[in-house]
Structure 1
């Protein structure tokens, strides 16, 4: 069988792969995109049924296409988002092969380029772009042994409340996923314990503007690196039910029992850190800092945006904060499911190049790898705070495509004629 060849091979057909293909196409770079599932597969099959975007439709999109038929201030559901990328791929005539898994990519010896071993045969390319994104392998901390008498599930496996066995649920993780799932389970009549770790808690909207707008005008999206110590802090914000500011005290008022960060399990009893009150208060402080910056911007620019004093009101601490619970006997509490909303890690085990540090994280500068002709796109903080968002991926992909075009230009130079 003849070996297929292309200039640039893009691995991954989600938002990063679609953006990468658009910019490579504009630069005239021959390329091929491989996706092991369908375009934007993770939006369809690895998210819960009621998931919506965390940013409004006017903002979380590519510049070349709006969410037709959607209110610009709405938060489209996951299937609508997946369809958006399918439509976008069709619009740009993306050269993609779905249902093709890449098992191994190695650098060629004694000649330029790489060889990719795939479920559809061998493909050679001069360049490789890893566009598989940050949500590759669900992370479940090794706290509860697999043989424990409780079902353990990651948020990537969760679909809806009816999927779970009868009984109470412990949700571990208070970022956007954990909060939204806990709220959904509580409204479905489940008893819910929510383990709250350190987090940022921005306002969903303030003074008539969504928080994504505030981060834009305050130049926070372009921050080049997270604040020291905040590299892994989760963000608690929700687009569910039309969008609202996450308020842990209100969640407690609605029946959710808040506990601190999950620390350990002895086979019967779960242990929690004594940091619940600090975590909630620090989240409040983060909220107030955004409101302060927004107010200062309004005053500085003399904008006619309505004041919103209610946004600064903090309700009374619920009993679960006044008397924090440090232990939980799962059987006694009727907990039958632990749902881990504890994030993901990357998996580049298929990419056999010297491009990673001792923790298997890519070594790169704005997505340009330390390994020649290898590129990464779609990762958090690839170039800025907005890198893992839909619009941020688009801008990062443009930069990487530009670098590829520059390298192709140098390679095409033949030297002065004799």
Structure 2
């Protein structure tokens, strides 16, 4: 990391009120609100606008919500029908077009290395690949999905190709043979299904998850979460920061059904726990995890039915939605170990999520565990803000529409702070109420 000069003098085109780091959905939304508020700002992006959608997702990925819902309020998708699911490239193009719509001041190809408070002055200096920038306020809009997490289960020299879901592209780029997919959220389920359809033997490691219906009684699950007021929930279920959700927009959208995956030929196993001498060890929790997902699924159906009856919604009933197929044999007799060589497994796809890395921010912006120290995106370190975090203010915060509303709150907070910073008394000799005078009133 290069050092930042102690002087705060930088060229005018690099000296602004606000610098937003990242030009994904969070950065684009932030820029729109800052523009509306008249706050001079720059958005610094190390790649292109929506780069992670472009180059860090598999080829067939689509959004998990329909286009009428997963968008910004100010613009619809021009090339996706409202009830369809945008491809990753369509989402990326949407973000680019949206930024162009209000002339967002985005500088691509600029990576931020560190942010340091200026000693004795308000604001921060940012050390970047393009030199030094200065800003009064800094918004970290890099989101929570920054660093791929691969649990230290298989050693690097294990005789298989290991790839994180962010590095997976399509089946033919993996070596021939069977594949173990670890993780049963949206990414793991969709990748496992795609690999199975390509003719591979697939083993899918299923951990704890929520499993909502894709659609129920003619409405998408995002609609049900809206009318049931679940998007505005402010506390994660079970106190977790992030709960794996098994839902898919692939192939027009469908409810994830692990029993159907098993019937199609995918071998289900429990949580991946350990590895030794070429053998992977799984937990005996497969049946419990699927049962808990079923319970989550049925709970939402119950709430939807109760809501429809309470307000008299004339929606078609769907009794078959409560019917499950037969349990696969591996739920009754779980596979506890897998000899990778014997099973012909040549690759492992880790759909195990991401970690955040905010070491580039100044002291005080993160807690002792390296997590963002904030309240609704307002950092404990004055002048630093966050955007795009799961559950930043509500359940919907990490969705495209949700981050837009969080960006409005952050922008408003910055505008208020600027008002206080710009305040100067009109008369320096003006009376200042004392404690005693306040009591006298």
2:284 to 248, 270, 274: 274
Residue 151 (structure 1) aligned with residue 161 (structure 2):
yes
Distance 1:75 1:109 in 2: 49
Tell me whether 1:180 sits opposite 2:190 in the alignment: yes
Name which of structure 1's ranges 249-258 and 263-272 shifts more when overlaid on structure 2: 263-272
How far off its partner does 1:351 sit?
1.4
Q: Is the 8 A contact 2:115 2:127 kept in 1?
A: yes
2:198 aligned with 1:203, yes or no? Answer: no
CA distance in 2, matches of 1:263, 1:69: 44
Contact kept? 2:43, 2:107, Cα under 8 Å: yes
Question: Aligned equivalents of 2:164 and 2:202: distance in 1?
Answer: 16
Work out whether residues 40 and 82 of structure 1, in 8 Å CA contact, stay in contact via their aligned partners in 2: yes
**Partner-residue secondary structure (3-state), 2:342:** helix
User: Match for residue 57 of structure 1?
Assistant: 67
Pair 1:353 & 2:363 matched: yes
Task: Please tell me whether the aligned partners of residues 144 and 267 of structure 1 are also in contact (alpha carbons under 8 angstroms).
Answer: no
Q: Report matched runs for 1:244-323 at 5 Å.
A: 244-323=254-333
Return the match for 1:334 from 337, 340, 344.
Answer: 344
Whole-Å Cα distance in 1 between the matches of residues 59 and 300 of structure 2?
31
2:152 aligns to what? 142
Secondary structure in 1 matching 2:349? strand
d(CA) in 2 for partners of 1:95, 1:135:
23
Give the deviation of 1:357 after TM superposition: 1.2
Aligned residue number for residue 436 of structure 2? none
Cα distance in 1, alignment partners of residues 39 and 287 from structure 2: 54
SS of residue in 1 equivalent to 2:181: strand
Question: What 5-or-longer segments of structure 2 have no aligned partner?
Answer: 1-8, 429-441
Q: For residues 265 and 426 of structure 2, what CA distance do their matches in structure 1 show?
A: 77
CA deviation string 1:285-309 (max 9, x = no partner) = 0000000000000000101000001
TM-score (norm 1): 0.99
Q: Specify which of 86, 91, 100 is matched with residue 81 of structure 1.
A: 91
Offset, 1:330: 0.4
Superposed CA deviations along residues 221-263 of structure 1, whole A, max 9, x for unmatched, are: 0000112254332000000000000000000000000000000
Of 48, 51, 62, which aligns to 1:38?
48
Runs of 4+ in 1 over 6 A off after TM superposition: none
Once the two structures are TM-superposed, the CA of residue 352 in structure 1 deviates from its matched residue by: 2.6
Matches within 5 A, 1:197-236: 197-236=207-246
SS class of match (1:351)? coil
The equivalent of 1:410 in structure 2 is: 420
The worse-fitting range, judged by mean Cα deviation, of 6-15 and 228-237 is 228-237
Does the Cα contact within 8 Å between 2:269 and 2:335 map onto a contact in 1?
yes
The alpha carbon displacement at 1:186 in A equals 0.1
TM (norm. structure 2) is 0.94
Q: Distance in 2 between matches of 1:288 and 1:296?
A: 12
User: What is the CA–CA distance in structure 2 between the aligned matches of 1:2 and 1:359, rounded to whole Å?
Assistant: 33
Matched residue of 2:166: which SS?
coil
C-alpha distance in 2 between matches for 1:269 and 1:315: 31
- Structure 1 282/23 Cα, relative in aligned 2: closer, same or farther at 3 Å? same
| Contact 2:241/2:390 (<8 A) preserved | no
The answer to whether the Cα contact below 8 Å between 1:221 and 1:385 also exists between their aligned partners in 2 is yes
Post-superposition Cα deviations, 1:63-103, rounded to whole Å, max 9, x if no partner, equal: 00000132100001000000000000000110010011111
Task: Select the residue among 386, 389, 394 that pairs with 1:379.
Answer: 389
How large is the Cα RMSD of the aligned pairs? Answer: 1.0
1:405 to partner: Cα distance: 0.5
In structure 2, the partner of 1:25 is 35
Contact 2:150 2:352 survives alignment (8 Å)? yes
Q: For each residue in 1:24-48, what CA deviation from the matched residue of structure 2 results, as whole angstroms up to 9, or x when unmatched?
A: 0111110000000000000010000
Q: Work out the CA distance in 1 between the residues paired with 2:385 and 2:320.
A: 46
Aligned residues: 418
Aligned equivalents of 1:303, 1:280: Cα separation in 2: 31
CA contact (8 A) 2:44 2:108 kept: yes
- Secondary structure, counterpart of 1:199 in structure 2: coil
Structure 1 unmatched runs, 5+: none
* Inter-partner Cα distance in structure 1 for 2:196 and 2:128: 44
Distance 2:361 2:239 in 1: 30
Tell me, in whole angstroms, the C-alpha distance in 2 between the residues paired with 1:362 and 1:230. 15
